[in-house]
Chains A and B, each alone.
Chain A
Amino acid sequence: MNGASDYAPGLSDPSPQGEHRLGPAWLIYFHAAVCCASLAYLGRIYGYAGIAYDDAHLYDAALNVIPFVLVSVLFTFARFSFGYFLGFHFYTVILGFLWLVESSKLGYDKEAASISAFASAVAFLLPTLFILSPILRTDVVSVRTFDRILTAVLVASTALIVVSAFYNFRLVDFAAASRVRSQLNEPTALGYLDPIASNALLPVAFATFVLRRNFWRAALTILLLLAFYPVTLSKTALFAPFWILGITVLSKLFEARTTVVLTLFLPVVTGVVLGFLADQDFVAYVSVRNYIGLVNLRMVAIPSSALDLYNDFFAKHDLTYFCQVNILKRLFSCPYAQPLAVMMQNAYGVGNLNASLFATEGIASVGLAGAPIAVLACGLVVALGNRVSASLPPRYVLMSGAIIPQVFLNVPLTISLMTGGAAVLFLMWLITPRAMFEQPRRE
């Protein structure tokens, strides 16, 4: 582990003493409680994907979750890193799964699945929270070169948006976007480049511009991020600019670890409050339905629910032994000709459901018993992100990596790295000159 001296001084942290203190504890407890309340509410309203709300399971769900909340101690002791950011998102997913598993109507070994999920979470968090040593201690590129790279990113992103617009350009609301997205027809290369630009390159550019107080270029970056929505029609593209701006504001006000918790706590608690107000007839349910459906359900509950479905499916079907990865599928025989997301749609009718590394590299590939080991390996890969971003300002890591946790929650590790832009983000962090964030010392 590194001392706080590894951080660039000055711009690195709104609270210079932040990293000398322990991380949040009570806030994480509140977050866990709010997540459980959110899931109970969602189960009652939606009854999604085999999950049905039942008062009788409240005690069991609470008993299942409480020991896991103790794992949050790790977040109190750990220093901020990319792994902290991602790890907290996965902590929320596993917490949600442990709550949902008790009321799931699907028929698999719930106890074994709970133990496996618990062990997998710990196996993932240990390397992602505590492997922090930097890979390189000298700058790979100069500040001037990096500036040019960022300018190239802006130009290339603009070109990418223009080219993509020739294939698809539709201004529809996000509810309609889900329906229309399946009809999009664009070259495979754009399918890779668009998310890499919007999830990794532009957030890096934005973070750099904000920390260097280059606000006009930062605003231009936000506009470019927004421009990806009409050509990709993805919810991530629509909400990415607002999400990054939110994290920018929060990270200005709070210490990095508190910001991480607040990025999930605030949206979820807002949904719970809105749901409560709707229940009490203070607001109409239709006016809050979209928010709750998008944030509490889609963003937080569905990744947990996906674990439930994957557990059930692979309790009754052959494991993939990683053959879901296209390269491996060509080399080895695979029991599944179709992608796992399509298999899930065929089996459960919940839409094409990709799932996180816990479900895909874990449960689907090696089963419940092997999942903690596979997830540990994934944690070591994520720890690479910590090592390449070590000594970067926490605020920079938060802003530039803002979108990536959402990608990791919904797709497997391999897709997150290659298609989702995580590998490119790691590369950008590796070459980001640390000298760029140094302030002249005051006499």
Chain B
Amino acid sequence: MCVIRELLPYRRPFVLTLLVALLVLAVSLFMVRREYSVRSTIAVPATFADNKLTPLYQPDQMAKQVTSGYLFPALLELSQKGVLPSTLNTLERTKAEAAGLFVNLSSSVQESQQDDARRFQQLIVDQIIKERAVEVEALRKSVAAKVASANRASRDLVQQTRDFESQIQTLSASAEELKKQIGSRQSELTTAFKNTANSNSADERAVNETVVRELREQIGSLLVLTRDTDTQRLGMARALVDIKRQNEEQLKAAADGERELETISDTRVLLPPSVIPVSIGPRRLSLLLAGFFLSLMAAFGTVVVLYNFDRHFGSKKPSTGRPE
């Protein structure tokens, strides 16, 4: 409190500095020329893959390429067309920002520089589209080749399926025939057993027993043959399932490829270089407030300097701020 009381005599220099500083800052603020924003928006090439829209180029990478690569040839071209160096300096500060699948270009320029800024951004946009178009076309061809390959593989697999199904049918028919033969042999065997049992002489019995043995051997051979046929048929059925699965995969790959082909989008211009009609001039009210704070600080700083000066070099009695 004591110090503040001692500072009271300095109220005049305080107010004077405050007013002068505020006046200077306010005038400077109103003299700042209005700026306009020239903007354009590019959509990066994308495709629908894995059930989501995926960019073919990362937008943030493309944004970096704009500021580190595309910017300079465009500046050079404008320079050769006689655009003023001050405008080129302004355009060099053009920003590129990624937002989702888009890249936004924005240049803050003065009114007289709007046309140059539009031309400048158009040059960049054209260059990006030109370069990306070649790459997107190459990608399309690559995907189309994959689709064709998948379709060819699918056709081969379909043919294999048919062949296998036909072979399985043949094997099934063979198996049926073998079963019939086994049935017939077994009834003959039953008859042979009966004949053997009813044989009247040893010779007749021996003949019948021979028949029984032969029939048994035939039935055994037929059973082995049946088992082999079944095994072969089972193996073919399994292979058929595998071929069908492969075919489905190829069909899916072909369908995915076709869908990708349909959804591959080119680099598109969503917003051609345009001047945003609203001025982006400094936010004057908040800056005026900041200016007031700065003026307060300047006034306070001046009072502190005067006070300390008086304490150090002058009399201990504080200055009144008035000329003697």
Q: Which residues of A approach B to under 8 Å, CB–CB?
A: 17, 20-26, 29, 55, 59, 62-63, 66-67, 69-70, 72-73, 76-77
Given A55-B93, A63-B286, A63-B287: A22 and B297 interface contact (C-beta under 8 Å) = no
- What residues on B are CB-neighbors of A20 within 8 Å? 311
Cα distance A67–B283 when bound, in Å? 17
> Which listed residue (B95, B296, B304) contacts A76, Cβ 8 A?
B304
Closest to A62 in B: B290
- What residues on B are CB-neighbors of A77 within 8 Å? 3
A and B contact pairs by CB, cutoff 8 A, 10 listed: A17-B312, A21-B307, A22-B307, A24-B304, A25-B297, A25-B300, A25-B301, A26-B305, A29-B297, A69-B297
Q: Are A25 and B304 in contact (CB under 8 A)?
A: yes
A283 to chain B, nearest CB (A): 23
Given A21-B308, A26-B301: A67 and B293 interface contact (C-beta under 8 Å) = yes
Q: Are B293 and A66 in contact (CB under 8 A)?
A: yes
A-B CB proximity, top 8 nearest = A25-B301, A25-B304, A21-B308, A26-B301, A66-B290, A66-B293, A22-B304, A21-B311
> Which listed residue (B283, B289, B301, B312) contacts A29, Cβ 8 A?
B301
A258 to chain B, nearest CB (A): 10
- What residues on B are CB-neighbors of A21 within 8 Å? 307-308, 311-312
B4 to chain A, nearest CB (A): 8
In B252-294, the 8 Å CB interface with A consists of: 282-283, 286-287, 289-290, 293-294
Closest to B106 in A: A56
Q: Are A59 and B300 in contact (CB under 8 A)?
A: no
- What residues on B are CB-neighbors of A72 within 8 Å? 297
Size bin of chain B's contact surface = 20 to 34
A56 to chain B, nearest CB (A): 8
- What residues on A are CB-neighbors of B290 within 8 Å? 62-63, 66
- What residues on B are CB-neighbors of A29 within 8 Å? 297, 301
Cα distance A96–B286 when bound, in Å? 20
Cα distance A55–B94 when bound, in Å? 11
- What residues on A are CB-neighbors of B293 within 8 Å? 66-67, 69-70
B103 to chain A, nearest CB (A): 16
Cα distance A20–B41 when bound, in Å? 63
B147 to chain A, nearest CB (A): 41
Supplied contacts A63-B287, A77-B3, 7 more A-B pairs, CB within 8 Å: A21-B307, A21-B308, A21-B312, A22-B307, A24-B304, A59-B286, A59-B287
Q: Are A22 and B282 in contact (CB under 8 A)?
A: no
- What residues on A are CB-neighbors of B287 within 8 Å? 59, 63
Cα distance A413–B296 when bound, in Å? 34
Q: Are A17 and B311 in contact (CB under 8 A)?
A: yes
Cα distance A55–B37 when bound, in Å? 14
- What residues on A are CB-neighbors of B3 within 8 Å? 22, 77
> Which listed residue (B294, B301, B304, B307) contacts A66, Cβ 8 A?
B294
B36 to chain A, nearest CB (A): 15
B92 to chain A, nearest CB (A): 12
- Count CB-based A-B contacts (< 8 Å): 48
Given A66-B293, A70-B293, A76-B300: A59 and B307 interface contact (C-beta under 8 Å) = no
Given A17-B311, A66-B290, A69-B297: A25 and B305 interface contact (C-beta under 8 Å) = yes
Closest to A68 in B: B293
Cα distance A66–B3 when bound, in Å? 24
Contact mask for chain B residues 299-315; partner A; CB cutoff 8 A; 1 contact, 0 none: 01100110110011000
Cα distance A22–B312 when bound, in Å? 11
- What residues on A are CB-neighbors of B308 within 8 Å? 21-22
- What residues on A are CB-neighbors of B305 within 8 Å? 25-26
- What residues on A are CB-neighbors of B296 within 8 Å? 70
A77 to chain B, nearest CB (A): 6
Closest to B311 in A: A21
B21 to chain A, nearest CB (A): 12
- What residues on A are CB-neighbors of B286 within 8 Å? 59, 63
Cα distance A63–B286 when bound, in Å? 8
Cα distance A63–B289 when bound, in Å? 9
A260 to chain B, nearest CB (A): 16
A70 to chain B, nearest CB (A): 6
- What residues on B are CB-neighbors of A63 within 8 Å? 286-287, 289-290
B287 to chain A, nearest CB (A): 7
- What residues on B are CB-neighbors of A62 within 8 Å? 290
Contact mask for chain B residues 1-41; partner A; CB cutoff 8 A; 1 contact, 0 none: 00100000000000000000000000000000000000000
B278 to chain A, nearest CB (A): 15
Residue among A21, A29, A59, A66 with max Cβ neighbours from chain B (10 Å): A66
- What residues on B are CB-neighbors of A25 within 8 Å? 297, 300-301, 304-305
In B64-87, the 8 Å CB interface with A consists of: none
A348 to chain B, nearest CB (A): 19
B17 to chain A, nearest CB (A): 12
- What residues on A are CB-neighbors of B312 within 8 Å? 17, 21
Closest to A64 in B: B290
Cα distance A265–B305 when bound, in Å? 19
Cα distance A69–B297 when bound, in Å? 8
A255 to chain B, nearest CB (A): 10
- What residues on A are CB-neighbors of B93 within 8 Å? 55
Cα distance A17–B312 when bound, in Å? 7
Contact mask for chain B residues 129-172; partner A; CB cutoff 8 A; 1 contact, 0 none: 00000000000000000000000000000000000000000000
Contact mask for chain B residues 84-104; partner A; CB cutoff 8 A; 1 contact, 0 none: 000000000101000000000
Cα distance A72–B298 when bound, in Å? 12
Cα distance A72–B297 when bound, in Å? 9
B51 to chain A, nearest CB (A): 27
Cα distance A24–B304 when bound, in Å? 8
Residue among A17, A21, A22 with max Cβ neighbours from chain B (10 Å): A22
Cα distance A66–B292 when bound, in Å? 10
Closest to A22 in B: B304
Cα distance A26–B17 when bound, in Å? 14
Cα distance A369–B34 when bound, in Å? 40
Cα distance A73–B304 when bound, in Å? 10
- What residues on B are CB-neighbors of A70 within 8 Å? 293, 296-297
Cα distance A93–B193 when bound, in Å? 111
Closest to B296 in A: A70
Cα distance A59–B284 when bound, in Å? 11
Cα distance A283–B95 when bound, in Å? 28
